[in-house]
Amino acid sequence: MQIGCNYWASHAGTRMWELWDEKVVESDFRKLAAVGCRLIRVFPNWRDFQPIEAVPGWRGIVRGLRMKGQKMTGSDDGVDPVMLQHFRRLAEIAEENGLELVVGLVTGWMSGCLFVPPALEKLNPLNSPLSIKWQVKFVRRFVRELKDCKAIRYWELGNECNCMGPVNDPAEAWDWTNAIASAVRVEDSSRPVASGMHGIMPGEDLPGAEHCWSIQTQGELCDLMTSHPYPHSPSKLAARVDPHNSIRAAFQATFETLYYSDLTGKPGAVEEIGTFSPSYCAEKEKAEFLRNSMFNAWAHNSEYFLWWCGFDQSNLSFPPYTWSAWERELGFFTPEFEEKPIAKTFRDFRAFLDALPSAKLPPFRRDAVCVLTREQNFDQTMSNGWSAFLLAKQNGFDVRFQYVNETFADSDLYIVPSLRGACGIFREEYLELLEHVKKGATLYISLDDGALAPFESIFGVEVESREARTAPARVKFGNETFILSSPFRLNLRSIHAEVLAAEEDGNPVFVRAKYGKGTVYLMTLPLELDLAGRPGAFHKPEEPEWRRFYRVFAEQVIAKRLVRTANPLVTLTEHPDAAAPERCLCVAVNNSAVPVRPEFEIADGWKLEKELPELAPFSGAPFQLIRK
């Protein structure tokens, strides 16, 4: 995993190109290299690089375009050659400092502001044919002129370009993405094209304008998927409930990156991550969050990890910095260039990576498929996936995400969290899952007012009645009581199912039944969605042991793991290598504020190569298992 940051020049922020200062960039890049950065994401501001202006005539009818007052011919692309020279020099400075670049090509949106060429300001950049024409012209010229720069490692469509305007149909999102990605590849097919998108839905088959941008589209047209995981983001319920230095926050970047990567089969990277504002998180806790997040992202095969951003921008007196408190105090350095604690954290992690025999881990082992379904909005989809991921991690196994409209990968275990609506899973998809169960797999489904048919013949229960709840369900499971919110109560009557947990009046809510050679589990409460909004659910000792629900149906896959721990705040990954079957590299991460002496249960026939030292707070360590 490569590490680095997002970059705007320390003296000018988003105005760095119009206020170009080579000496500032040289100084900034030296500082960033010194704290351990090796990959920098940079942004050619679209307004500055293609400064075309419309020339209106009679009744405002546009008679032509000019670039900086100069006449343009029909074949002109409107790209400012001076800006290209500035970018070339930036790339040279990066190379001189051992830095590589991710280039966000269409930077028309940044930190809450639009940066669109004047001639195109009244057009929607995402569905206007005229605007897309000029974007393609810009991208082709930029890539053609600068593809010889050795420092450039990735091209990217642009920064969160789905924020530049609305689209009315998934086909419009596909058309825009295809136009920009194809423009890059016409000029340079040697480098990967990264997505750069922000907050998009799993599949194209979801109705409504808010669902037009899909992860599946980005995966079809891009080579690398990117996450922008900010704790306490208002768009994600699960991101808002726990402190930055909690296990939930420490896994946000990892979960979101796997979510994008798994749904597309493409590599994933943590492209933006930060803590927004000092009113959310102090510098000490920010450093703890950063360290924990980096160890988890590395252990789960993220391609890179980029902090937002290099330098504070609290001294800049123009939007977006005057508008939003989120955009001011985000860097490794203060405006006076004093290092913050996160600078040391970054430098220490750089030293950790450099000391490894190989910076890239083998792929980590997956034990189950988590199926994400329809009829959920962005927040619900993310919440359910995130909770399922954490419940699996705290039980010692790992999931792979899959959207419901894809052919299901073979697996011993399928998890369908908090199913909603009548069309969450189509009949042929449901039957396909059940075929896997007939052959011996395990299927777990929890319901958030989701409908299933067939029902009784599968789960061994029938619904006597359905009614709205007036209070949360109180569930007895073993010797603990769990309180779960749900919009509806299903009054169940068991036919041949085994009741695992019931409400205090005896109404079953968690049941198990045989189906063919396999087993089905049904939870009639939205466990995952409820936990997404429950503060402390995954780390507070006074919380009931929520992971017990998953342990019941995952016993067989857990038993196949080579190493296990009973500590829910210590997480493990296994990285088998087919070329060395007598060994298995593993990673342990301590997602807590206290040092932990690892206590592992090792599978028969295996042993630790050497004892693992105490795990520092919010830190991790690799270790080897070898066959006896």
Whole-angstrom distance, CA of residue 383 vs CA of residue 391: 12
Tell which wins on pLDDT, 70 or 533: 533
Note the pTM of the prediction, 2 decimals: 0.95
Report pLDDT for 209: 55
Radius of gyration of the chain (CA): 26
pLDDT, tens digit, for every residue of 142-153?
Answer: 999 999 999 999
- Token pair recorded at residue 338: 């004093």
Kindly write down the DSSP assignment for every residue of 259-297, as one continuous string: HHHHHHTS-EEEEEE----TTT--HHHHHHHHHHHHHHH
Residue 553, judged by CB atoms within 10 A of its CB (0-12, 13-18, 19+), counts as: buried
CATH label, 368-558, candidates 3.40.50.880, 1.25.40.10, 3.20.20.70, 1.10.340.30: 3.40.50.880
pLDDT, tens digit, for every residue of 316-329?
Answer: 888 888 888 788 88
Query: Is the bond leading into 320 cis (omega within 30 degrees of zero)?
Result: yes
Element housing 254 (H / E): helix 252-264
Break the chain into its structural domains and give their ranges: 2-355, 368-558, 562-627
Whether pLDDT at 207 is above 80:
no
* Half-sphere exposure of residue 599: CA atoms within 13 angstroms, side-chain side: 6
Q: Are 466 and 492 in contact (CB under 8 A)?
A: no
Whole-angstrom distance, CA of residue 431 vs CA of residue 426: 9
pLDDT, tens digit, for every residue of 530-585?
Answer: 999 999 999 999 999 999 999 999 999 999 999 999 999 999 999 999 888 999 99
Please report which confidence band the pLDDT of residue 68 belongs to, taking 50, 70 and 90 as the band edges.
Answer: confident
Q: Is 562-627 a domain of CATH 2.60.40?
A: yes
Report pLDDT for 136: 98
Average pLDDT, the chain: 94
Least trusted range by pLDDT, from 215-219, 368-372, 552-556: 215-219
Domain 2-355: give its CATH code.
3.20.20.80
Tally Cβ neighbours within 10 Å of residue 414.
25
Cβ neighbours of residue 83 closer than 8 Å, sequence gap 6 or more: 17, 44, 48, 49
Q: What is the dihedral of CA 153, 158, 160, 166, to 10 degrees?
A: -150
CA 562 and chain centroid, separation: 27
